């Protein structure tokens, strides 16, 4: 275990934020969440709501961010506040304010408090890559970024602005590119459409999902959380780059459906040719494994089983084996 430190997590009452807070808490750190809301069903479900401090604030309000860092004495920042793909598409200006200007706020904070802040870790995304079929083989961090969404474009810009802050001002940062993050208590984002292939059968409901034949990377939220913790505390000399792919298990909807049917033989899942995957999921995360010590603990079956059983327990249904 690393030495106890205070870690401030923006977007900490959200899905990945709450799991990351729980992971950091288990590692022995003091956790402060900075978010527009101070209560969260995810924090309650994970049983950590009473063990952390939450500050109400907005990452587009620099004085509020700076004040939180100064008052809490935080030494590491994990920046997860964002408007996801669907909300950015619906409100582009707000998406840019939160995703680009908000990230700049955290970079400025790390620069301003450079005598205190050891590391800023922030969420980039696999959305920086082009749609499926645009690359040959597994996609590495050396491949061309060609986002097809405004959300992805914002993340790609953030990778460059973060590097300028490192080169010009010495800010130590790491950006992580998660994939399709799934697990109990997800509330929003495009992944909620895809995980209906797990959620609805778990509750005995039929589901149609697609497009068939397209590979997606299914990353359990607990594994994503561990990646952010490890990136926050990785030694500076271990970092061979500043943006890392972090992945789970690659599988098509057909392969996911087979796993769900193995657990729930009566599952009514139809895989269609309809649907769109806006960015590639065939990513290589060997750099994160080597430099950060990232090692997913969930394969597809164990991740789906865990997810299904949480849903069934809450619905008063018998768990699956």
Confidence at 190, pLDDT banded by 50, 70, 90: low
Q: Which CATH number covers residue 80?
A: 3.40.50.720
> Is residue 320, in this structure, part of any structural domain at all?
no
Residues in CB range of 124: below 8 A, 6 or more apart: 155, 156, 158, 159, 175, 176, 177, 243
Could you tell me if residue 118 is inside a domain?
A: yes
Q: How many domains does the chain have?
A: 2
pTM, entire model: 0.96
* In a shared domain, residues 56 and 118: yes
pLDDT of amino acid 113: 97
Dist. CA 246–CA 275, nearest whole Å: 24
Q: Answer yes or no: is 310 within a domain.
A: yes
Q: Looking at the structure, do residues 60 and 200 belong to the same domain, yes or no? A: no
Claim to verify: residue 63 and residue 145 sit in the same structural domain: yes
- The residue segments making up the domain with residue 272 are 183-216+249-277+298-314
Integer CA distances (angstroms), 18 to 23, 104, 165, in order? 9, 22, 27
In which band, very low, low, confident or very high, does the pLDDT at 39 lie, cut at 50, 70 and 90? confident
> Is 48 in the same domain as 171?
yes
What was the pLDDT predicted at 27?
Answer: 96
The whole-number pLDDT of residue 189 equals 56
Residues 141 and 20 in one domain: yes
Based on the domain organization, do 271 and 139 belong to the same domain?
Answer: no
Among 151-155, 191-195, 236-240, which is the least confidently predicted range?
191-195
Residue 292: inside a domain? no
Considering the domain architecture, whether residues 175 and 208 belong to the same structural domain is answered as no
Q: State whether 13 and 147 are in the same domain.
A: yes
Residue 1: pLDDT over 60: no
Residue 86 phi, psi dihedral angles, 5° rounding: -65, -40
Query: What's residue 188's pLDDT?
Result: 60
Nearest residue to 251 via CA among 282, 287, 294, 223 = 282
Q: How far apart are CA 30 and CA 143, in angstroms?
A: 37
Is the domain of 152 the same as that of 15? yes
Give per-residue pLDDT as tens, 261-308. Answer: 999 999 999 999 999 899 999 999 999 999 999 999 999 999 999 999
- 232 and 199, same structural domain? no
Q: What pLDDT, in 10s, does the model give residues 78-109?
A: 999 999 999 999 999 999 999 999 999 999 99
**Domain holding 265: CATH number?**
3.90.25.10
Q: For residue 291, is it within any domain?
A: no
The mean pLDDT value of the chain amounts to 95
Say how far residue 55 (Cα) sits from the centre of its chain: 21
Find out whether 279 and 127 touch, Cβ atoms under 8 Å. yes
- Measured over the CA atoms of residue 96, residue 99, residue 100 and residue 105, the dihedral's sign is positive
Residue 285 domain-assigned (yes or no): no
Q: 204 lies in a domain?
A: yes
* 86 plus 197 within the same structural domain: no
Over residues 180-189, the mean pLDDT reads 82
119 and 226 fall within a common domain:
yes
């Amino acid at each position: 275990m690393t030495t106890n430190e205070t870690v401030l997590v923006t977007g900490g009452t959200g899905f990945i934020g709450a799991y990351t807070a729980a992971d950091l808490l288990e590692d022995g750190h003091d956790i402060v969440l900075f978010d527009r809301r101070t209560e969260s069903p995810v924090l309650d479900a994970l049983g950590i709501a009473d063990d952390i401090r939450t500050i109400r604030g907005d990452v587009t309000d620099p004085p509020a961010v700076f004040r939180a860092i100064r008052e809490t004495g935080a030494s590491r920042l994990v920046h997860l506040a964002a408007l996801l793909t669907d909300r950015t598409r619906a409100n582009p200006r707000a998406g840019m304010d939160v995703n680009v200007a908000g990230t700049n706020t955290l970079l400025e904070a790390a620069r301003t408090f450079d005598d205190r802040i050891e590391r800023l870790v922030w969420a980039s995304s696999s959305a920086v890559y082009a749609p499926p079929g645009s690359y040959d083989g597994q996609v590495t961090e050396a491949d061309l970024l060609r986002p097809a969404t405004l959300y992805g474009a914002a993340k790609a810009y953030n990778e460059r602005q973060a590097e300028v802050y490192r080169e010009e001002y010495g800010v130590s940062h790491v950006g992580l590119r998660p994939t399709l993050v799934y697990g109990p208590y997800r509330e929003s984002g495009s992944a909620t459409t895809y995980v209906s292939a797990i959620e609805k059968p778990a509750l005995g409901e039929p589901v149609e999902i697609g497009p068939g034949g397209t590979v997606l990377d299914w990353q359990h939220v607990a594994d994503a959380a561990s990646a952010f913790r490890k990136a926050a505390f990785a030694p500076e000399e271990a970092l061979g780059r500043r943006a890392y792919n972090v992945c789970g298990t690659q599988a098509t909807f057909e392969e996911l459906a087979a796993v769900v049917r193995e657990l729930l033989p009566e599952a009514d899942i139809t895989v269609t040719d309809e649907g769109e995957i806006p960015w590639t999921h065939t990513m290589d995360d060997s750099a994160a494994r080597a430099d950060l010590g990232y090692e997913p603990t969930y394969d597809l079956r164990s991740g789906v089983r865990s997810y299904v059983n949480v849903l069934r327990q809450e619905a008063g249904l018998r768990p699956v084996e």
